[in-house]
Amino acid sequence: MLMKIKTILACILAGLLGSVGQAGAQTAAPVQGAALAGCQYTAWTRGVNYPLGAIVLYQANGRFYKVVNVGSNGSDGTDPTISSWYWAPTTCDAGSPPPAGGGNFVVSRATFDQMFPTRNAFYTYDGLIAALKKYPEFATEPDQAVARQEAAAFLANVSHETSGLVYIREVNQANWDKYCSTGNCGGKLYYGRGPMQLSWDYNYKTAGIALGLDLLGNPDWVATNAAIAWETALWFWMTQSGAGRMTPHQAMSTGQGFGETIRSINGALECNGGNAAERQDRIDTYKRFTGLLGTSVGGGNIGC
């Protein structure tokens, strides 16, 4: 009987020790960061400069990383698995990537690819989707036809400005130092960059204030960070009237017509009998994009 009791006690003790060992193993497991419920992330792309707080999926190892420090150009194109100063491991709900179709955005990833088959890799669809968070009123009109027309109008204009999202920086480098309104910009250059070719020091300053970014001090962010580049284009579209009478967003959402977006963006050169070839290129691209989105060109004036 004594031997039997000893055997039972030994089994119980072994079980307790095993439980403690398992608990210890769980406690010692490496923590990759606090889980972020419903977080948004993009697949990490080499050479892209991500802003502070951005979360990426490093597809080679299936892990998530968050930008915790930034340099002069966001994450400065660094690799999350190498540059621990810029990046920290984190976790992210696996079910919350940016939706493949762009969520509620009326232009799907597949259609975007059709619109810009030869685009520069810098101009990512994910960058555009991220930028839309800054301006949730863009292309979200209750009338789906109007929403699609606005998206087509915006993308047609940026296509014209960048030759199909090919060029990131203004092509004519001879003009790069000519966009300083004060005559002394401390060596900074404010030539055209990004989808809407943002130019002039005062536009970089105003856009930066609106977006919460120091673009006056760091103008090249517009050419090195896809989300910021798209944000500046949307900033102009949603808030600036340029040479026109209204913002491009107002023109499309109130049925004034595509022509008014041309007037706002480059009306001084292309409207009222100006450069007909440039104007027609915008119009033709708009017609093609509305066709891809399954909608009409809408009312109002298509030209200016």
State the Cα torsion 172-233-162-217 to the nearest 10°: 30
State the sign of the Cα–Cα–Cα–Cα dihedral 234, 238, 239, 243. positive
Active site residue 141: no
State the Cα torsion 69-72-78-84 to the nearest 10°: -30
Among the options 141, 150, 161, 231, which is catalytic? 161
One-letter-per-residue 3-state SS of 46-104:
CCCCCCCCCEEEECCCCEEEEECCCECCECCCCCCCCCCCCEEEEEECCCCCCCCCCCC
β-bridge pairing 42-43 and 35-36: unpaired
Give the type of residue at 288: R
- 63-67 β-sheet, strand order: 35-36, 87-92, 63-67, 55-58, 42-43
Catalytic residues: 161
